[in-house]
Amino acid sequence: MVERFPHKLLSRSLSERLDYFESYTLAHPRLKEANKEITRYIRNSKNGTIIYLYGPSGVGKTTLLKRLNVETINETYSAAKADQGCIPVIYVEAPFPESRNFDWRDFYIRSLTALEEPLIDYKITYGVQGVRRNEDGKLKVEKDTPIRSLRIALENALRYRNTSVFLVDEAQHFTKMTSGRTYKDQLNCLKSFVNLADVVLVLGGTYELLTLHDLSDQLCRRGKDVHFKRYFAADSKDMDKFENCVYCLQNQMPLKGETNLVQYLDYLYERSLGCVGILKPWLDSALHDALFDGTEVLLLKHLQDNALPASKCEKILLEAISGESEVVEKKESVDALRKNLGLSLKSNFQSDVKPTEACAASNSIKPKKSKKRRVGQRKPHRDPVGIPTYEES
């Protein structure tokens, strides 16, 4: 039985109906897989571990991190209730640097603010000059406070709050810097911070995170990887799952008329690239139009008016394919490893990478070479007739 929206919503205002759908989060297979894997790593990892959550832009990493934040709070509710000053997990978004150099000062202040829960009476003594609370108990950071002092204050606050999990979204922004610093400097800062703060750090971001990930042999060994994948069109099982996502979402749309989005599955995949994190906001906007223009049915026009342009989709796709090619285990790498270890090149074990994923990550980015033909020779297929269109339901 497919879950549908509460029928009583149809008697509510258009804004309430739209708010319902916008707040709805679909627990689809890819999200569940990544959530299960990252939760296992958090539970089994010692403090000081860095977990890298990466995937294409719009795949749903922010949704997953916010979900992890809520789940961790719920799981540690009893311990937090016993220790009323405890904040077991914090979620912070790494800011994009305006000056092309990652702003550590801004990051530390945002993190300190996240630890200043206003409902907690047990306030923090930071132990450094320049970071204090005013008479109202609000966090105050003096302008000339050194970055080193801010970092020490954050480390002290995390230990004081017994924080065990630190979730950082948009973590690829750590790689933004001018030539004055190196990626390894950024990595060493993170590594030292995590060890001294005694937390499990979860970095969520695009494939740019791999730039930091591969710089340290120690972190390659101690770090954990979670690849949040999109749905691949070349995999029939993936497309079945994506179709089910579309079906579940259409059944959550509080519309009076019957909406059939599955008939536009090809178009929905084309403009979402198999990423539910792109699909859902797109449907949010389309639903808004369907509600406020009075049709009470979501039509193809609503989808087309709110779809990402093909040029933007192509840019996101090429970046995704490039990143996917970096994480697919290549035969050449395995052969080189076995050769250096003194093993035979033939292994009894096969890679767990699906052929469709390897194909999507390597072959899709390369245009096919066309065979040479004589001047005036036609291609061996019929010319298209008319303009392809979709029929409205």
Q: pLDDT by residue (tens digit) across 118-145?
A: 544 455 566 677 777 666 666 777 787 8
* pLDDT of res. 189: 85
Last residue of a domain, one of 177, 200, 227: 227
In a domain, 115, yes or no: yes
Give start and end residues of each alpha helix (H) in 76-216: 77-82, 104-114, 147-160, 183-197, 209-213
My answer on whether 100 and 154 are in the same domain is yes
Residue with tokens 């800011």: 95
Give domain status of residue 330, yes or no.
Answer: no
Q: Is the pLDDT of residue 383 over 80?
A: no
Q: Are 140 and 134 in contact (CB under 8 A)?
A: yes
Please, where are the H alpha helices in the chain? 14-23, 29-44, 61-75, 77-82, 104-114, 147-160, 183-197, 209-213, 217-222, 236-250, 265-272, 276-292, 300-306, 310-327, 331-341, 355-358
- Looking at 258, 292, 308, the residue that finishes a domain is 308
For residue 84, the one-letter residue type is: Q
> Of residues 83 and 326, which shows the higher confidence score?
326
Whether residue 269 is predicted with pLDDT greater than 90 in this model: the reply is: yes
Question: Which of the two residues, 164 and 368, has the higher pLDDT score?
Answer: 164
300 within a domain of the structure (yes/no):
yes
Domain contains 374: no
Q: What is the pLDDT of residue 136?
A: 64
Determine what percent of the chain is predicted with pLDDT higher than 70: 78
Distance CA 57, CA 328 (A): 18
Q: CB within 8 A of 38, min separation 6: which ones?
A: 51, 53, 64, 68, 202, 226
- CB distance 82 to 160 below 8 Å: no
Domain assignment present for residue 352? The answer is no
Give me the mean pLDDT over the 363-381 stretch. 46
Average pLDDT, the chain: 83
pLDDT level of residue 213 (50, 70, 90 thresholds): confident
Which of the pair, 182 or 162, is modelled with greater confidence? 162
Domain match, 203 and 295 both = no
Examine the domain organization and report whether 66 and 196 are in the same domain: yes
Domain of residue 144 covers 45-227
Q: Tell me the average pLDDT across 343-368.
A: 55
